[in-house]
Amino acid sequence: MKVAKFGGSSLASAAQIKRVFDIVNSDNKRKFIVVSAPGKRSGADTKVTDALIAYHKACKAQDERGIKVYQDWIVARYLEIYNELNMDSHIIEDIKENIQQLASLPIDNPYTYDTFLAAGENNNAKLIADYFSSAGLKSRYVHPADAGILVSSDPGNARLIQSSYERIKYLNDLEETLIIPGFFGVTAKGEVCTFSRGGSDITGSIIAAGVKAELYENFTDVNGIFAAHPGIVKNPVPIAELTYREMRELAYSGFSVLHDEALVPAYRAHVPLVIKNTNNPEHPGTKIVVQRETKGAPVVGIASSSNFSTLYVSKYLMNREVGFGRKVLSALENLGIRFEHMPTGIDDLSVVIRSHYLTQPVSKNLIANLIESLHPDEVNIERDFSIIMLVGEDMKEHVGVTARATAALSEKGISISMLSQGSSEVSVMFMVKEKDEKEALRAIYSAFFE
Amino acid sequence: MKVAKFGGSSLASAAQIKRVFDIVNSDNKRKFIVVSAPGKRSGADTKVTDALIAYHKACKAQDERGIKVYQDWIVARYLEIYNELNMDSHIIEDIKENIQQLASLPIDNPYTYDTFLAAGENNNAKLIADYFSSAGLKSRYVHPADAGILVSSDPGNARLIQSSYERIKYLNDLEETLIIPGFFGVTAKGEVCTFSRGGSDITGSIIAAGVKAELYENFTDVNGIFAAHPGIVKNPVPIAELTYREMRELAYSGFSVLHDEALVPAYRAHVPLVIKNTNNPEHPGTKIVVQRETKGAPVVGIASSSNFSTLYVSKYLMNREVGFGRKVLSALENLGIRFEHMPTGIDDLSVVIRSHYLTQPVSKNLIANLIESLHPDEVNIERDFSIIMLVGEDMKEHVGVTARATAALSEKGISISMLSQGSSEVSVMFMVKEKDEKEALRAIYSAFFE
């Protein structure tokens, strides 16, 4: 059986929902359907979720006129889809009532905001289940509480309780095609609690792991993932298959297709994932697998990401002091700063940190702490770096990958501020000045793909 | 004024001591002369220091015959030099008495061993001072206690007490050429306490710092330092000048000319150091300076060193756990393991460790600790790596240094297990399998120097 998740743009209109129906209906293995809230129909449109946020704000401000405006807009949004699908069920009354009742929830309850947000997915799932059934595919709407998605009590940042998988498994016993709203679960006390935003992908991944799906299909509005950012590299090659580790490195370093967290449940359950295009379902898309046969090309993708800084600490004979590196990391940890990399020389070390951590007061504090605890010869922070990440499972076996990449940068006269190879089995990291990021990415892409 | 230190091979015979006299006498700035014990005259010879170690052993074993043999051999060694120098002073009686009296020292006293060892330098200094004076250069033997070299009470591993510099300064007020035995100082209680072995270099460095010498001349039996190990690279180019930082990186990574510790006092006092050849004093040697003008060539030297291991730890989404890297380093610190490098990937990190730390039980313990505290997906230790270190102050400004080095390795089909550039401002680190070390060094040398 397969889990298919459809994003907001795939469910923004009646026409899109009909496509989704055709996709689901064309393969009887597509039994578990996870849906988002209706997204934008065009660039200037408003997502239902964003309207729900505004609606919540109006409730908080006791802005009666605003409340009415948003209620009407949201209900109209569902009604339009309902009408265009030529539906004829009571579901639209349910949806209307549900949207209106949100206004009477206790506004100070920490779960109320999550309940507002979740209404987008929840009502869409009800509508779609009804439509699918009316169109001839016996379907059932399943609330996350009934699906067994029990989560921690962290509004806006729910975490799955591990025992949930035991209950999710029983969804296999239901006969119908199951339509499950994404993005939220329920706490032990029955409160609605959402995952971090973009969380429908997480729901799909959880269901896939729980029912032990053979495949998790993640339908979006793109044909899959490209080997480099299409905004920087012209017509980059598409990636047919990559591993979870590769995906994780790419996602981390700038690729923004699936949220990291969404990959974990499927990865841990060894369920392969495929990213497909709702508007081009024939396209094979990009498959993410636990292991793949490598096929000669050492690099599968190249990502880049800006806004990095370095903390540099040097001290003559530093290397002799057991605990020096650990003390630097402790100083960072005490200020709540996460570090990305810590390449070290003999008597110096650099720590790569995302720039947003290093506000002026934090930087000042950090440097003062380090001077006091370590008496370094030199300590400074440098900003405006970008990271370029070459990713590929097969790189380790290929002599010369780094040689080719460094030569490409050297030819363009681009300075490598930092280079780390071999720490990770699947990536090589280059750090360059932010101003060189795009040219560096193009040069390396060209060295491996052209 | 200059400090000149002469090593054991420069003082092994009367002929050598005459050369040393000529060197000192030829430049009236050479006022502070630090001497080692007589070294080997030829390959099969015994160093006086080694004979003193054997003498101490015989005393400990109450081996009367052995005691006599070593006493006689050591005294004869000084006597031979004395005779060949045609000296005519009472000093040889002093030396004889001093050597013989060692046997009556309390053998269980923790400083007795150090006193035995120091006798080699101490008596040589007396002899040389007398000889220099008799040869027409007014000289004075200065015991480290009189020179103000006050050290911590750590037999075999003495550390200079910082306040010593204040007293050493007054050596400038003495008129004669001062002959100071290297290798030891005295504790606050007046006990003889030696530096770690090879410590005459340390004494020279301390005196240079204390008297604020314009130059510290370290006379050895080589013309200076080469850009690569002459045992691996055929006829490597000599290095005319390098900075303390460069020297430190090279010494650390396999160059064995001066002990690290010996560099520190001179470095901190900004005294330049020159390594010269007693047997070829016209040769300019290799100068070690605080700062140098870089002259186009980005790489000044290439060192290599074997016996490294890597600890690899990976965990999916590890990057999100603040404190992950710090915990790994704490686990190492708790086992007393010093780490060399810690390059990190997104979800994994490698720690480079000198293999001797990782005995079987320690490795087992370390891995068990990490599994328990971090629940990693994977943790393992790999052995038999070597490090190749490219060193040069000017590398940072040169685009393409890494490109050239990686291309050289790639051409030879040598895999780079790890590469770290940019963490240190003066070095690039390559890790290769131990079996590839020599070929890798030759390939990189050839890329930069041929």
Question: In this complex, do A326 and B322 lie within 8 Å of one another by their Cβ atoms?
Answer: no
Residue of A379, A398, A423, A427 for testing the chain B interface, max B β-carbons within 10 Å: A423
pLDDT at position A198 is 64
Residue A304's SS3 state is strand
ipTM of the complex: 0.75
Alpha helix ranges (H) inside A211-357: 244-252, 260-268, 324-334
d(CA A141, CA B158): 79
In this structure, are residues A312 and A379 in contact, taking their beta carbons and an 8 Å threshold? yes
pLDDT at position A281 is 94
Residue A131: name the closest of A36, A30, A21, A24 by CA.
A21
Q: How confident is the model at residue B194 (pLDDT cuts 50, 70, 90)?
A: very high
Q: A78 to each of A52, A101, A139, A166, B342, how far by Cα in Å?
A: 13, 16, 19, 34, 54
Secondary structure (DSSP) of B197-221: SSTHHHHHHHHHHHTT-SEEEEEES
Residue of A264, A346, A349, A417 for testing the chain B interface, max B β-carbons within 10 Å: A346
Q: Which residues of A touch B351 (CB under 8 A)?
A: none
Q: Point out the residue among A399, A422, A429 whose CB comes nearest to the CB of B410.
A: A399
Share of chain B above pLDDT 70, in %: 99
The pLDDT tens digits of the residues spanning A18-54 come to: 999 999 999 999 999 999 999 998 888 999 999 999 9
Mean of pLDDT values over B104-108: 95
Q: CA angle, B400 as apex, B396 and B403 as ends, to 5°?
A: 120
Q: Which residues of B touch A427 (CB under 8 A)?
A: 345-346
Residue B21 has pLDDT above 90, yes or no: yes
Q: Point out the residue among B345, B349, B406 whose CB comes nearest to the CB of A403.
A: B406
pLDDT at position A364 is 94
Domains of chain B: 2-221 (3.40.1160.10), 301-449 (3.30.2130.10)
Residue A219: name the closest of A204, A234, A236, A237 by CA.
A204
In this structure, are residues A17 and A81 in contact, taking their beta carbons and an 8 Å threshold? yes
Q: CA angle, B362 as apex, B359 and B368 as ends, to 5°?
A: 135
Residue A296 has pLDDT above 80, yes or no: no
Annotated binding site of A: 5-8, 49, 121, 220-221
pLDDT at position A25 is 97
pLDDT at position A259 is 76
Question: In this complex, do B431 and A414 lie within 8 Å of one another by their Cβ atoms?
Answer: no
Residue A129 has pLDDT above 90, yes or no: yes
CA distance A450 to chain B (A): 20
pLDDT at position B197 is 63
CA distance A414 to chain B (A): 7
Q: Comparing A119-123, A126-130, B114-118, B263-267, which segment has the lowest mean pLDDT?
A: B263-267
Q: Any bridge partners for residue A184, and if so which? A: A194
d(CA A75, CA A98): 10
The pLDDT tens digits of the residues spanning A165-219 come to: 999 999 999 999 999 999 999 999 999 999 986 689 999 999 999 999 999 999 9
Annotated binding site of A for substrate: 49, 121
Question: In this complex, do A400 and B410 lie within 8 Å of one another by their Cβ atoms?
Answer: yes
Q: How confident is the model at residue A252 (pLDDT cuts 50, 70, 90)?
A: confident
Mean of pLDDT values over A214-243: 94
Q: Which residues of B touch A326 (CB under 8 A)?
A: 326, 329-330, 333
Residue of A406, A411, A412 for testing the chain B interface, max B β-carbons within 10 Å: A406
Size of interface A-B (CB pairs under 8 A): 191
The pLDDT tens digits of the residues spanning B201-221 come to: 999 999 999 999 999 999 998
Share of chain B above pLDDT 90, in %: 78
pLDDT at position B18 is 97
Q: Point out the residue among B399, B422, B423 whose CB comes nearest to the CB of A410.
A: B399
In this structure, are residues A146 and A104 in contact, taking their beta carbons and an 8 Å threshold? no
Q: Which residues of B touch A418 (CB under 8 A)?
A: 421-423
Mean of pLDDT values over B213-235: 94
Buried b (16+ CB within 10 A) or exposed e, B289-322: beebebeeebbbbbbbbbebbbbbbbbbbbbeee
Q: Which residues of A touch B249 (CB under 8 A)?
A: 345-347
pLDDT at position A50 is 95
d(CA A334, CA A153): 26
